[in-house]
Amino acid sequence: MKPLNADARARLSYLSESHACSYSTSGSEHDSLSYLIHEFFENEYELGKSTLHPNSDDDSDSDTKSGSADRARQSADEIRKLLKQRNKCDPFRLQLYSNVEEAVEALAPFKLNRSCVNRAVMSRLREKGYDSGLCKARWEGSKGLSPGNYEYIDVMQIAVDGKKERYIVDVYFTAESEVAGPTDEYQTVLSALPEMVLARQEEMRPVLRILADEAKRSLKHRGLSLPPWRKKQFLIAKWLGPYRRTTNPVPASLGLAPAGSDVKCRAVGFAVPQLHRQ
DSSP 180-228: SS--HHHHHHHTTS-SSEEEEHHHHHHHHHHHHHHHHHHHHHTT----G
In this model, does residue 139 exceed pLDDT 70?
yes
**Which of the pair, 90 or 147, is modelled with greater confidence?**
147
- Percent pLDDT > 70 in the chain is 66
**Which of the pair, 150 or 34, is modelled with greater confidence?**
150
Q: Which amino acid is it at 276?
A: H
In this model, does residue 79 exceed pLDDT 90?
yes
In this model, does residue 122 exceed pLDDT 60?
yes
In this model, does residue 28 exceed pLDDT 60?
yes
Domain residue spans of the chain:
73-246
DSSP the chain: -PPP-HHHHHHHHHHHHHT------SSEEE--HHHHHHHHHHHHHHHHHHHH-TT--TT-TT--HHHHHHHHHHHHHHHHIIIIIHHHT-HHHHHHHHHHHHHHHHHTTS---HHHHHHHHHHHHHHTT-EEEEEEEEE--BTTB--EEEEEEEEEEE-TTS-EEEEEEETTHHHHT--SS--HHHHHHHTTS-SSEEEEHHHHHHHHHHHHHHHHHHHHHTT----GGGSHHHHHHHHHS-EEEE--SS-SS--BPSTTS--B--SSTTS-------
The mean of the pLDDT values for the chain is 76
CA 98 to centroid of chain Cα atoms: 20
- How many Å apart are CA 119 and CA 80, to the nearest integer? 27
Q: What is the pLDDT of residues 194-245, one digit of tens each?
A: 889 999 999 999 999 999 999 999 999 999 988 999 999 999 999 999 999 9
